[in-house]
Amino acid sequence: MLGFLSARQTGLEDPLRLRRAESTRRVLGLELNKDRDVERIHGGGINTLDIEPVEGRYMLSGGSDGVIVLYDLENSSRQSYYTCKAVCSIGRDHPDVHRYSVETVQWYPHDTGMFTSSSFDKTLKVWDTNTLQTADVFNFEETVYSHHMSPVSTKHCLVAVGTRGPKVQLCDLKSGSCSHILQGHRQEILAVSWSPRHDYILATASADSRVKLWDVRRASGCLITLDQHNGKKSQAVESANTAHNGKVNGLCFTSDGLHLLTVGTDNRMRLWNSSNGENTLVNYGKVCNNSKKGLKFTVSCGCSSEFVFVPYGSTIAVYTVYSGEQITMLKGHYKTVDCCVFQSNFQELYSGSRDCNILAWVPSLYEPVPDDDETATKSQLNPAFEDAWSSSDEEG
């Protein structure tokens, strides 16, 4: 670390290199935090999580019981063992509660005063965080699987919505109505995601095995249909112009927006160049995916080498994005994991499962100790976190 600081001071190193290296080290050391609990409120499986991007302090969860919970992740007690308490919840006794399973929750990207939720009850609801009352409700003819607001746009307030129908619907929060529809898929839309790089670029994933990139300003809409074969197979082949050989039920842009990750029920994950739609052919091996609806996975941010966290049965698999290497499997849940979210400020991960629990995964402060070492029974604190201070009396 001293070498990093010295090189940065003399201008020999990029000022951000130390930060990226430390972020990478912390992600590689993720483990289940035994000193932190997340208060258990949900009576059913947890389908979706989202941490607000303004402070990184408050987290939303949505469950198959229709309940939405808002948690405070900050340790205000300053105790080593603490519980992340639920600040408030929209429970079964709330007049505006979703009638069926909540599939997606998302904070308004620019302000914690508002958040959105969508459900199998065919609605998208816009909530006032302070009053926990609905500011607006969008009703659809079909079950809603997924929705997303652009994390970067200041030019529009469009919410992309994927439903059991083959059309992608765009809802305008300013006008309170569905502004237009994107047509091109043949089956239900299981996942939608706006680019974190371009205001008007949207990615959609469908049960028809296809992933499409759209520019919502264009009349024709669709820019690219991703092809796993990069155009090298005959159009007569059944898998031509498909991203996967099964339903595509999850997608996520890398934090810089240059690449797009997709997962499908063919047990594969693929990495695409988001500018030209090319399959980069990175091999992640088998990525077990039996979900019949959307799968919420996430990527790291600010590391030297970025990582992707994917629910994998009752575990979370961690891969390096650009090499495909599996780093570890995070084990702690005892039922299927359906969602996870990354907290980039402190390199923490939160996961939700059908066991009704939310688990916190945090960087280990301890270096691994060899089993045959005499000091194996002693905790080995990373020197970066040791107190190096001593008084002059002790030195004498």
User: For residue range 301-328, what is the model confidence (pLDDT) as tens digits?
Assistant: 989 889 999 999 999 999 999 999 999 9
Rounded Cα gap, residues 351 and 396, in angstroms: 51
Residue where the block lists tokens 């997709």: 262
Q: What is the pLDDT of residues 225-282, one digit of tens each?
A: 999 999 886 564 666 789 999 999 999 999 999 999 999 999 999 999 999 999 999 9
Of residues 154 and 95, the one with the higher pLDDT is 95
Q: In the Cβ-directed half-sphere of 272, how many Cα atoms lie within 13 Å? A: 31
- State the pLDDT confidence band at 213, using cuts at 50, 70 and 90: very high
What is the pTM for the complete model shown? 0.88
Cα–Cα distance, 167 to 165 (Å, whole number): 6
Q: Which pLDDT score is estimated for 235?
A: 60
Q: If we measure between CA atoms, which residue out of 32, 39, 35 comes closest to residue 88? A: 39
How far apart CA 198 and CA 108 sit, in angstroms, is 17
Average pLDDT, the chain: 88
CA–CA gap between residue 278 and residue 96 (Å, rounded): 44
Higher pLDDT, 86 or 5: 86
Q: Which residues contact 105 (CB under 8 A, 6 or more apart)?
A: 48, 49, 50, 60, 61, 62, 68, 115, 116, 117
**CATH class of segment(s) 23-363:** mainly beta
